[in-house]
Amino acid sequence: MYDNPDGVMIGLEVHVQLNKLKTKVFCGCVTDYHNDPPNSHVCPVCLGLPGSMPVINKKAVEAAIKIGLALNCKVEEHTQFYRKNYYYPDLPKGFQITQYDFPISSGGYVMIEGEDGELRVGITRAHMEEDPGRLVHEGTIDKSKYTLIDYNRSGMALIEIVSDPDMRSPKEARRYLDKLRNIVGYLDVFDGNLEGAMRVDANISIMGGQRAEIKNISSFKGAERALLFEIVRQKNVLRRGGVVVQETRHFDEAREITLSMRTKEEAHDYRYFPEPDLVPLKISGWAPAIKETLPELPDARRMRFVEQYGIKDDHAKALTSELKLAIFYEDVAKKADPKTAAVWVCDVLKGELNYRDLTVEAFKKEHMLSVLELLAGRKITEDGAVDIIRTLLDKGGSPEEIIKEKGLVIVAGDIVETAALEAIVENPQAAADYQAGKVKALNSLVGVVMKKTKGGADARKVREVLIAILSDGFYPPIEREKIEKTIIKIGDVMVEVSKPIANLLKKMGYV
Ligand SMILES: [Zn+2]
């Protein structure tokens, strides 16, 4: 049982930008502004000019319902927009169109891996709103001499997902965020790689004290760091006999500290009232049809992978952490051994992609299949396979070309076996020592085999072959029970091997 020593309570408000929609939420401005100059995707509506009127984007409402359903929320019968009144330069209208009473959906949950097993994090609500513009500062926000404003982002559709304060550590908060990105990523409504696609406000209190709200954290790592910092800061305030005040704080990503911005507003400070320019929406009939379009979500897919392909849960979890990766794996697993495919996609390819900050789209399925096929046919070593994958990512080409170019000649299994036998024959004492329980004696034999195969053999494979010959007394490891063992004399040393091995050694003229 996790006893939460600091009495930490964390609730998160996550803003998901629906950047895969073609147009903004209340106007026709197109959303693919990310490579364009500032203030080039704007119109009277998203600039908040007087007299302009918003028109709702139906696709945005559908996407919001989709997200609500995927988060196990109840989709409401009616939904309505409100004006949240405040002045800030990124909000030229002087109010933000958002939701207050009658959000699109509420009362859901997400399961995450908690400090002590599975943790259910409640979803208070998921509602729609418009994104404000973007403020750009020189250096840090508190030292910058000026503020620049880019309204390209103004009016982008956002879903704000508000959690219950169920998380008890920064690590749990991080896992919740990962899970949320994972789920929403499956719905094809946003591209998580675009700048500002997911932004986090974090509420945190300790020891039942007042909560601080940390605003606009742009990365998940940042959220974890900000929360860690806040716990230490609030503990220090209490230790000095002070009181933690309810306030809004800013996270300075560069310095990894939070700074006080203003005392926290109450809801009534915003004077919410229904947006008179948008009619209330009756959405009760929409949910069933949208539910039909929901894809298989990460948790369900993870369980199916374990069942259908017989892979480890850890692998299934990693493979379903991103939709594209899950599809990649499944396509490969249909044409190769699923377990081997899981190992190579998860443990090797995923790591190599991460290292290069690439997604799985950077690697061709056919190449993964060729690599697996070459491995299965024992045509390349495992080290050779890793080398091929790295070269494909760095320089391109095809596995066949790389094999030729690098001279990754393949030390076939029987060559390794012959070399292993030779190594044993030439070093019978090491073989006998190993059989007598001196495990380290194996290393010198591995060294001999590596030398004989000029480094072309896979060291893991060599160990495996040597152990098979020396421990079980036979190789290849088939029909173990049926193979009789015999003791042979190599030089002055007695070594126990299988009869086929003994015969082979005789044929080779060693005994
Ligand atoms: Zn516009």
> Helices (DSSP H) in 71-214: which residue ranges?
170-186
Domain limit, last residue, from 406, 433, 464:
406
DSSP string, 404-444: HHHT-----HHHHHHHHHHHHHH-HHHHHHHHTT-TTHHHH
User: Do residues 371 and 464 share a domain?
Assistant: no
Cα of 270 vs centre of ligand 1, distance in Å, is 24
User: Do residues 228 and 332 share a domain?
Assistant: no
Cα of 159 vs centre of ligand 1, distance in Å, is 18
Structural domains in the chain (count)? 3
User: Do residues 417 and 451 share a domain?
Assistant: yes
Cα of 43 vs centre of ligand 1, distance in Å, is 4
Cα of 152 vs centre of ligand 1, distance in Å, is 8
Cα of 151 vs centre of ligand 1, distance in Å, is 9
* Predicted local confidence at residue 488, as pLDDT: 78
Cα of 85 vs centre of ligand 1, distance in Å, is 20
User: Do residues 451 and 390 share a domain?
Assistant: no
275: in domain: no
Residue 481: which domain range?
413-507
Cα of 139 vs centre of ligand 1, distance in Å, is 29
274: in domain: no
Cα of 63 vs centre of ligand 1, distance in Å, is 19
Comparing CA positions, the residue from 337, 11, 404, 426 lying closest to residue 204 is 11
User: Do residues 417 and 401 share a domain?
Assistant: no
Cα of 158 vs centre of ligand 1, distance in Å, is 15
Q: What is the mean pLDDT of residues 441-461?
A: 82
Q: Is 131's pLDDT higher than 90?
A: yes
Q: What is the mean pLDDT of residues 85-111?
A: 95
Distance CA 106, CA 126 (A): 6
Cα of 114 vs centre of ligand 1, distance in Å, is 42
Cα of 42 vs centre of ligand 1, distance in Å, is 4
Cα of 171 vs centre of ligand 1, distance in Å, is 39
> Helices (DSSP H) in 240-311: which residue ranges?
286-293, 298-309
User: Do residues 223 and 91 share a domain?
Assistant: yes
Comparing CA positions, the residue from 356, 426, 437, 419 lying closest to residue 389 is 356
435: in domain: yes
User: Do residues 29 and 158 share a domain?
Assistant: yes
* Predicted local confidence at residue 497, as pLDDT: 73
User: Do residues 68 and 158 share a domain?
Assistant: yes
Domain limit, last residue, from 406, 431, 451:
406
Cα of 155 vs centre of ligand 1, distance in Å, is 7
User: Do residues 301 and 366 share a domain?
Assistant: yes
Q: Is 472's pLDDT higher than 70?
A: no
User: Do residues 211 and 315 share a domain?
Assistant: no
Cα of 125 vs centre of ligand 1, distance in Å, is 27
Q: Is 315's pLDDT higher than 80?
A: yes
Query: Residue 485's Cα: distance from chain center in Å?
Result: 50
User: Do residues 240 and 387 share a domain?
Assistant: no
User: Do residues 323 and 349 share a domain?
Assistant: yes
Residue that has been written with the tokens 């998940």 in this structure: 220
Q: Is 191's pLDDT higher than 50?
A: yes
291: in domain: no
Q: Evaluate the omega torsion of the peptide bond into residue 38 and state whether it is cis, within 30 degrees of 0.
A: no
Minimum mean pLDDT range among 65-74, 359-368, 470-479: 470-479
